[in-house]
Structure 1
Amino acid sequence: MDHPGATNVAWDAVVVGSGPNGLTAAAMLARAGRRVLVVEAASTVGGGMRSAELFEPGVVHDLCSAVHPLGRVSPAFAELGLADHGLRWLTPEVSLTHVFDARSSVALHRDGAAGAEELGIDAAAWRRLVAVDEKHLTTLISQVLRPLGLPRHPWPMARFGARALRSVDRFTRAFDDHRTRTLFAGAAAHAMVEMSAAGSAGPGLLLLAPSSTTGWPIARGGSQAIADALVSCLREAGGEIETGRRITAFDELPPAHQYYFDTSVTSLLDVLGARLPSRVARAYRRWRYGPGVCKIDFLLSEPIPWRSESATRTATVHVAQDYRQIADAETAVAHGEHPRRPWLLCGEPTRLDPLRAEGSAGGETTSAGGGRAHSTRHVAWAYCHVPNGSSRDMGEAMIDELERCAPGFRDVVVASRVQTAAQLGEHDANFVGGDIGCGATSLRQILGRPRFSPNPVRPNPYATGVPGVYLCSSATAPGGGVHGMSGYWAAKFGLAE
C-alpha cells in the first residue's frame, strides 16, 4: 500500500476511531478542505460519548461520559460551531452536590451569592483559590487545554500552575470546614489519583473552573448528541465515515497522505509495529494506565429520593461520608486493591432532560379515577474506582451507599446493569482495563503525554515518529474528557505540515 505522502490516493486523511478527539480531528481537517475518512470498529460512532436504550425502548442512557463541564467551554467545539449542528446544553443552577449522608450535603451553585452562603466560612478561600470568573475563564481554558509549552498568558498560567502542582491533601488545608475539603477532593478524584500525590489538585481546579459560570451541563438527548453534532459538521464539509471496521494492522488502512489514531497507546503500538522508531516505541511501552471504573446504570420508577434539596437540582452528585472515605478508596485502588467502601460519582440526567425517558414503555398508567396519567421513567447512573482490569461487580456496594444517603432508593429501581472495569475495556478499546482516561493521570504523564517532546518550545505530542502519522486520543495532551482538544491540536499540527 501507499505510505503517508504518496500521490494519487483517495484520501488526504484517514482517522481511526470516532471518539470525541477522532471526530474533532476529522471535522477540523475536512473544514480545511481535506478529503477525510473516519474508520470506526463499533457499529455506532461516538466512543465514550455513545448513548443507547439499555432496558426499555425510548429510554436513553449514556454509556460512559455523561456530564461535560469542559465540553461546554471547549475551544474546539466553539470553533466547529456545534450549536449550528443541533447540540444543546442543559445547565443546572447547581453544578455539583456532595452528599455525605441522608441529612448533610454541600452544593456548588452557579449563583455567587448562593454559593457563598453554602460554603460559609470557606467562601472567601474558595473564591480566591478555586473560583474563576467568566472574564478569565476563556483565557484559562485556552491555555490549559493545549500542549505544554511557553504560555501566551504567563501570569494566569503561573498562578494556576502553582496551585495545580500541589497535592489535594496540601491544597485543602486552606479550608476550615471538612465539608469543603471533601467537596474539592471529590472533584479532584475524578482523575483517579491519590490525594497525597503531587499535582493531584490540578484536575480538580480544572474541572471546577467553570462551576460558578458556565456550570456542569449535560447534552440534551444524551451525550450521543455531541457525537451527532460532530458527525454533522464532518459530513457537511464532505467527510465520510465507515463503521464496523476494526483496524488491527497498518496495511489494512486505505492509502492516504496522513493518518490520525484516536486509539490507546497500546492499540497504536499493535497497529504500527515495526514502523515506529525504536526510541518512540520504547517511550510508548513505558506508558501506564490508571485505575478502572465499575459503572452501574439504573432504570427508575421515580427520581432518586434524596433528602438533600440541592441533589435534586443538579446533574452531578458525589457520595462519600467524608474526606477520608475518598482518600482511602483512591489509595487502595492506586495500590491495586478494591476499596473497602467505595465513594460514588453519580447523576440523574432526567432531572434536567425528561425527554430522555418520554418514550418509555411505562409512559402511561391508569389513574385512580380510571383516566390516563402520564408516568415517565427516570434514568440514573453511578460509578466507583477500582483497580485496572478488575472483574469485580461493585454494584451492591454502590447501591448500599445510595440507600444510605437516599433511603428508599432500592424501592424505585426497576432495572440495573453493572459493567465491571474489565467489561468497559471490552466495550471500548480505548478504555484499557476500564481506564476511561486512556492513561494514568500521574504528574509525569501530565508533563509528558504520551512522551516528552524533543522540542520544548513547540512540543508536538501527537507525532509518532512515522511521517504523516499522528496519535490524537486523550492519551495525548491535554488529556481525558469530552472536549475534543487532543484531536483539535493534532489536526492543527497536521495541517501545518
Structure 2
Amino acid sequence: MGIEKHYDAVVVGSGPNGLAAAITLQRAGKSTLLIEGADDIGGGLRTKELTVPGYMHDVCSAIHPMAMASPFFRSLPLIDHGLELLYPAIAAAHPLDDGSAGLLYQDWSATLQHLGKDAPVYSRLMRSVVDHWETLAQDTMGPLRFPKDPLRLASFGLDALQPASWIAKRFATEQGKALWAGMAAHGIQPLINFSTAAIGIVLSAVGHRYGWPVPKGGSKSIAKALLSYYKTLGGELKTGFWLDDVNALPKHELLILDITPRQLLQLKGVEWSNSYKRQLSRFRYGMGVFKVDWALSEPTPFTNAHTRQAGTVHLGNTFTEIADNEWETSRGKHVEKPFVLFSQPSLFDSSRAPEGKHVGWAYCHVPNGSTQDMTAAIESQVERFAPGFKDTIVATHSFNSMELQQYNPNYVGGDINGGLMDLTQLYTRPTLSLTPYRTSQKNIYICSSSTPPGGGVHGMCGFHAAKTALHDHYG
C-alpha cells in the first residue's frame, strides 16, 4: 500500500466560501484538499439544463451584486481564469400596478433623475456608502472588530441598524418606497426587523459602485474561475465525497467546514463541548424559498418598458403590500401574492437559450420547510406585471424548500442565507464570539454563510475562517 498523503488543510464544501477558504490557505503556502459531496463544484454556483435541452438555468444564485463588492473576490485574477461579467444598465426594476416602476440604474445620476422628489432622500442614504464602500467593506464584511474608520461606520450604522419600515417613511413617492422595499426584502425577514435597512442600503450602493452583474454562461462560471485559480496555486479537489464522519478524511492539520450548525451537530467522529453544542442548537434559521425556472419562447412582456431592460425585477407592488406579505410568511403562512425576485439573464447573455429564446428565474419566500407548490402564485405575480407571460412558457422546473435542502444541505428548510440574518444573528453567527469561525475543537473551523458576514456570493466567510485558522496555527 502507498503512503496516504498528509495535507495542511482539508476544506469540505466547494461553494463560494469553501473555495475562498481553500484559495486563502493555498495562497499562504499550505497544501490543501477541497472536498465536494456532489459530482460537480459550486454549491449555490451551478448552472444546468433544468427544463429542456439548450436552456441553461442557474440552479441557485443568478445575479451577483456582492461578487465584485467583495474585497476577497476583487483580489483575485478571475478574469484571467475565464470569468466574464455582463452589466445590465438597469440593475433592478420594481414595477407597480399603475404601470410605473422604481429603477436602480448602475449610473448614479440616472437613478437620481428617475427618483425625482425622492432623490435627496436617496442621496443622503446611499452617497457615503457608494463613495467609501471599500473602507466600509473592511468594517462590515467580517467579524466584529475595531473598525478602520469608526466615524464612517457609526454614520452607516445609524441608518443600517434601523428597520426598513422606518426608512421607508422618508420616501415620498410610491416608486421610491417600492424600490426600497424590494432591496430590503432580499434580507428574507419581516421589514419591521431591526437591521433590515442594512441589506437595502448595501445592495443599492454596491449596485452603483459595481453593478449587479450577470456571469456569462451562468453562475457556474464564477465557480469555474475560482477553481481554475485554486488549481494554479497547486490546490487539489475531490468530488463525490459526502462527509458524515471526519475519520474518513485524509490526514490533515486543519479542517475547515462549509456547512451550517445543523450539519455540524450531526457530524460523526468529533466531540464538541457542551457549551458549543448548546449555542449551535439555539441557532435560528429563517424563511425558506420556493424557486421556479422557465424556458420561454420570448422575452418577458413587462408592461413597464424599463423593466424589460433590467437584469433583476422585484415583483410585489407597493412597500405596504410587500411588508405585509413578508410578515405573514414569516409567521408560517403561504400568501396569495408573494414577493417575487425575478431575473431575465438571457436578455444579456444569449448563451443561456437557443437563438431567439429565453430563460426566466424566480423565487418567493415561504415558511421554513414548506413543501407547498408556489408555482402558480409566482407565475400569477409575473403575469400581473407582464400580461401574456404565461403564454410564453415552454417548460417549467421548480424546487420547494425541502427539495432545495436535499439539493444543498446548507439550505436548511430552504433558508439560502445559512440562518436568519436579524440583529441578533447578523454578527453573532453561529455563536456569540469575536472569532465565530472557531469551533470547540482547536483544529476545526466553520466557514459557511452561518458565519459573518452571512449569505451572498462573496467568499468573505471562507476568507475570514481561513485567516483565523492561519493566525491560530501559524502566527
TM-score by length of 2: 0.96
Matched, 1:484 2:459: yes
The verdict on how the C-alpha distance between 1:467 and 1:112 changes in structure 2, with shifts beyond 3 A counting, is: closer
2:137 pairs with one of 126, 136, 141: 141
- Paired position in structure 1 for 2:384: 404
Matched, 1:182 2:178: yes
Contact 2:246–2:270, Cα closer than 8 Å, also in 1: no
Where in structure 2 are the equivalents of 1:153-232 lying within 5 Å? 153-232=149-228
Q: 1:387, CA displacement in angstroms?
A: 0.2
Number of residue-to-residue matches in the alignment: 470
User: Helix, strand or coil: the match of 1:48?
Assistant: coil
Q: 1:58, CA displacement in angstroms?
A: 3.2
- Paired position in structure 2 for 1:115: 111
Q: 1:13, CA displacement in angstroms?
A: 0.6
- Paired position in structure 1 for 2:310: 314
The verdict on how the C-alpha distance between 1:442 and 1:152 changes in structure 2, with shifts beyond 3 A counting, is: same
1:475 pairs with one of 443, 450, 456: 450
The separation in 2 between residues aligned to 1:340 and 1:376, in whole angstroms, is 33
- Paired position in structure 2 for 1:372: none
- Paired position in structure 1 for 2:469: 494
Structure 1 gaps of 5+ residues are 1-7, 361-374, 454-458
- Paired position in structure 1 for 2:10: 14
User: Helix, strand or coil: the match of 1:46?
Assistant: coil
2:432 pairs with one of 445, 449, 452: 452
Range moving further from structure 2, 258-267 or 179-188? 179-188
The separation in 2 between residues aligned to 1:121 and 1:298, in whole angstroms, is 37
User: Helix, strand or coil: the match of 1:481?
Assistant: coil
Identity %: 41
The separation in 2 between residues aligned to 1:272 and 1:29, in whole angstroms, is 25
Matched, 1:440 2:437: no
**Cα deviation code 1:118-159 (max 9, x no counterpart):** 101100110111244654122222221111111111111111
Contact 1:463–1:470, Cα closer than 8 Å, also in 2: yes
Q: What is the RMSD computed on CA atoms of the aligned residues?
A: 1.6
Alignment-mate amino acid for residue 434 of structure 1: G
Matched, 1:95 2:75: no
**Cα deviation code 1:375-405 (max 9, x no counterpart):** 4320111110000000001000111111111
The separation in 1 between residues aligned to 2:130 and 2:414, in whole angstroms, is 35
Contact 1:96–1:109, Cα closer than 8 Å, also in 2: yes
Contact 2:66–2:456, Cα closer than 8 Å, also in 1: yes
Contact 1:28–1:80, Cα closer than 8 Å, also in 2: no
The separation in 2 between residues aligned to 1:442 and 1:308, in whole angstroms, is 34
The separation in 2 between residues aligned to 1:54 and 1:190, in whole angstroms, is 24
TM-score by length of 1: 0.92
Contact 2:337–2:377, Cα closer than 8 Å, also in 1: yes
Contact 1:132–1:212, Cα closer than 8 Å, also in 2: no
1:288 pairs with one of 280, 284, 288: 284
Q: 1:213, CA displacement in angstroms?
A: 2.6
The verdict on how the C-alpha distance between 1:102 and 1:231 changes in structure 2, with shifts beyond 3 A counting, is: farther
Contact 2:342–2:360, Cα closer than 8 Å, also in 1: yes
Alignment-mate amino acid for residue 181 of structure 1: K
The verdict on how the C-alpha distance between 1:208 and 1:194 changes in structure 2, with shifts beyond 3 A counting, is: same
Alignment-mate amino acid for residue 219 of structure 2: S
Structure 2 gaps of 5+ residues are none
User: Helix, strand or coil: the match of 2:142?
Assistant: coil
Alignment-mate amino acid for residue 357 of structure 2: R
The separation in 1 between residues aligned to 2:141 and 2:382, in whole angstroms, is 34
The verdict on how the C-alpha distance between 1:102 and 1:412 changes in structure 2, with shifts beyond 3 A counting, is: farther
The separation in 2 between residues aligned to 1:57 and 1:408, in whole angstroms, is 24
User: Helix, strand or coil: the match of 1:130?
Assistant: helix
- Paired position in structure 2 for 1:151: 147
The separation in 2 between residues aligned to 1:175 and 1:429, in whole angstroms, is 40
Range moving further from structure 2, 230-239 or 263-272? 263-272
